[in-house]
Amino acid sequence: MAVNQTRRARAARKRKRRMDAADNDLTAAQWAAIQAAWGGCAYCGAVDAALQKDCVLPLSRGGRYTVTNVVPACRSCNASKCNEEVTHWLRRKHLDEPAFLLRFYEVGKALAEGRALAPGLGRETSQVRASARTLES
């Protein structure tokens, strides 16, 4: 059987090997809790968009799909971030890095302790970020 040698096929096989070797232990219940805690996109605050799992530390840099590394992201933010370091990406996009990191810590700590976190927390920072982006344009 011939093996597909295109760049895309080689990259897909490499990603599959990396994913199979990693300890990805995020359950559906944990993902639902993460989505509920964030209440929308972790980066831009979009609440009406479909959310995707985004690794804060990208898979290509050793990240895993775990509670401590996954945040909900809208398609636009997830595609834009790609495999970039989250703090560098936030600075490049002129998003509020300290607010994201603080919220990321709060959500991670709450989930580790098994307690619910109100999705409204941090929403005002998302609205401020959106307003700042509108003013910059």
pLDDT tens digits, one per residue of 108-120: 998 888 876 766 5
Owner of token pair 């976190």: 117
Q: What is the pLDDT of residues 7-41, one digit of tens each?
A: 888 888 887 887 777 777 889 999 999 999 999 99
pLDDT recorded at residue 3: 65
pLDDT recorded at residue 128: 42
Reported confidence tier of residue 124, pLDDT bands at 50, 70, 90: very low
C-alpha closest to that of 66 among 51, 54, 75: 54
Q: What is the pLDDT of residues 45-103, one digit of tens each?
A: 999 999 999 999 998 888 888 989 999 999 999 999 988 999 999 999 999 999 999 99
Helical (H) or strand (E) element with 73: strand 70-74
pLDDT recorded at residue 69: 92
What is the C-alpha separation between 27 and 25, in angstroms, rounded? 6
Q: Are 94 and 136 in contact (CB under 8 A)?
A: yes
The structural domains of the chain, ordered by start, are 25-136 (1.10.30)
pLDDT recorded at residue 80: 94
Q: Are 54 and 72 in contact (CB under 8 A)?
A: yes
What global pTM score does this model have? 0.72
* Sign of the four-CA dihedral 131, 99, 93, 123: negative
Spell 80-109 as b/e; 16+ CB within 10 A means b: ebeeeebeebbeebebbeebbeebbeebbe
